[in-house]
Amino acid sequence: MTNPTPPTSGVQLLEVAPEYAGQRIDNFLRTQLKGAPKTLIYRILRKGEVRVNKGRIKPEYKLQAGDVVRVPPLRLAERDEPVPLAQGLLERLEAAIVFEDKALIVVNKPAGIAVHGGSGLNYGVIEAFRQLRPECKDLELVHRLDRDTSGLLMIAKKRSMLRHLHDALRSERVVDKRYHALVRGNWPAAKKQVAVPLLKNNLRSGERMVEVNPEGKEALTEFKVLRRFGDFATLVEARPITGRTHQIRVHAKHAGHSIAGDPKYGDEEFSREIRELGGKRLFLHSAHLRVPMPDGSVLELDAQVDEVWLRTLERLDA
């Protein structure tokens, strides 16, 4: 029995729309050629098989509106078709949408769901929404949340919105993101910010770890006490002014008040006591978002925490 021949595409001529102006050709092809491995894209670029306006280009070439990109015939394996995701997951994420218009989706991401596939996962929030919204060809994550963090996550439906929000996120204090976190001990009301540099390390396993290090990047998080549970725990609001990996988690640990349920930077004894109350999750939630829109309006959203979070806080109060 022979294996079926992978489907072969013909020569494609792609005209660059204005919203793709300024994008690198390699990134453009990764967006347009869904399912094509990165190795294939870089190979056809390296061999000069991709032409722009009939001329050879380098992978770092930045496109201009009106450019005509010639893509050679490609053989794509059938496995490149996305694996259908469980209907239950799709329904759960559809129900978690808190805002949607023609250019943007904002979802209250449940804890435990990755934002994208990788590291042994073949799906995440973005893969699910590409199945939920197959007519939206340019769906992209605007930013990321850790897998175990819940709350507000932005997904752009158009390249123009993606560029607008990336520009806004790069400007400190333009986008207001506020998180809720349950931390160990009695957080002092006078401690309103943590400003220490953070250095990211990638371990051999591929796992990312972040540490306070003078050679790292500048990082600032503002904190405010929301609720106290004696000397045992405090519910705080954390507002990251900079956007470093694991910033809130590492800054909370540095302040001596690790976040409940944090397997990397937490206090295991504190997390175990919270788990015994039913709190089997990382207690970090993206609760509030305020972001300027391209038309000059301001989008302001809040996201509710899940039942596990609510029940755990009720038991802490008892």
* Residue 232: partners with Cβ closer than 8 Å, 6 or more residues away: 184, 185, 273, 316
C-alpha separations of 130 from 100, 147, 159 in Å: 14, 18, 15
Q: Which residue, 150, 146, 147, is CA-closest to 107?
A: 150
- Burial profile 179-210: b = 16 or more Cβ within 10 angstroms, e = fewer: bbbbbbbebeeeeeebebbbbeeeeeeeeeeb
C-alpha separations of 245 from 93, 100, 139 in Å: 24, 27, 23
Q: Which residues are catalytic?
A: 146
Count the Cβ atoms, other than its own, within 10 Å of residue 241: 16
Count the Cβ atoms, other than its own, within 10 Å of residue 86: 10
Six-digit token string for 84: 């259908």
Q: How far apart are CA 185 and CA 109, in angstroms?
A: 27
* Signed CA dihedral, 169, 171, 174, 180: sign only: positive
